[in-house]
Amino acid sequence: MVSTDVGVWIAAFFTIVATSYAFRDNIFFRFAEYTFIGAAAGHAIVMGVKNIILYGWTHIAGGEPSYWIPIILGILIYTRYHPKYYWIYRYPIAFLVGIGVGISIRGAIHADFIKQIAATAKPLIATTPLGTLNNIIVFVGTVTALTHFIFTYEGIHKGAAGWIPKIGRWMMLAAFGGAFGNTIMTRFSMYQGRIIFLLRDWLGIIH
């Protein structure tokens, strides 16, 4: 049975209109596009104000004056629009970058370097033949792909060892192919959700 819910009809309208762009650009699609941008911007502003209240003002009101510091730093970002004092915005940005890097770098070194090197530098012979094959592929792929990015020594690309970075390039191309296949799957899996919505929630054809 077709839905009688106005919200479902609005959602169905925007789903169909958004899909129509895949066939041809049209005024209805642009209406949907602008509506989405407006709604998303409105939501972001509300969430931003809510966050300032929840994670800034609540603390200040609770007797923690140190929370004025991030609020002042946040306000200073807007000095970039001032023709004379625009340089001040660099300080809160520097603060943000410093905090961001400081927080992430410790974990990144462990997870992205130490653990990855440890996971790659394991014995080639595994308990199963398939495991051994996997280890060999990982080892060959890592070493050859790394050699592809050696730009300071031309001999590695042109000399007798030129086949090594070439294998690395093929390894990367295979990885890009895999990533592209996954991208297609992701896009379809996103859209199938809307198809199910249209057929079930809107038209009531499926249950």
Partner 1 sequence: MSAWEKLAALPREIVLTIVLIAMIVPAIRPFGLPIMVGKMSKDWYNTVDSLPEGSIVLFDIGFGSGGYPTLGPCAVAALHQMFEKHLKIVIMATALEGSMMYPLIMEKVKPEKNYGAEYGKDYVFLGYIAGEQTAMAAVLGDIHTAVKEDYYGTPIEQIPLLQEITGPESFALVAYLTTSGGIAEGWVYQAYSRYKLPVVGGFLSMMTPSLKPYYDAGALKGILDGIKGAADMEYMTRHPGDAMRATDILSATQTIVLIFIVIGNISYWGSRLSKREGEK
Number of residues that bind partner 1 (CB under 8 A): 47
Q: Binding string to partner 1 for residues 50 to 69, with x set by CB under 8 A, is what? A: -x--xx--xx--x-------
Q: Give 114's DSSP letter.
A: I
The packing angle between helices 6-20 and 163-196, to 10°, is: 140
> Residue 90 interacts with partner 1 (CB under 8 A)?
no
What are the structure tokens assigned to 141, written together? 């792929």
Single out the segment in contact with partner 1 by CB under 8 A; choices: 2-10, 40-48, 71-79, 155-163: 40-48
Dist. CA 203–CA 193, nearest whole Å: 14
Count other Cβ atoms within 10 Å, centred on residue 12.
19
What are the structure tokens assigned to 26, written together? 């049209």
Burial of 111 (0-12, 13-18, 19+ CB in 10 A): exposed
Of residues 55 and 85, the one with the C-beta less far from partner 1: 55
Which of 30, 43, 82, 158 touches partner 1 by CB under 8 A? 43
Of residues 55 and 87, the one with the C-beta less far from partner 1: 55
Single out the segment in contact with partner 1 by CB under 8 A; choices: 71-79, 150-158, 162-170, 189-197: 189-197
Which of 69, 119, 146, 161 touches partner 1 by CB under 8 A? 119
Q: What Rg value do the Cα atoms of the chain yield, rounded? A: 27
Contact in structure between 146 and 167 (CB atoms under 8 Å): no
Binding-site ranges for partner 1 (CB under 8 A) = 22-24, 43-44, 47-48, 51, 54-55, 58-59, 62, 99-100, 103-104, 106-111, 115-116, 118-119, 175, 178-179, 182-186, 188-196, 199, 205-206
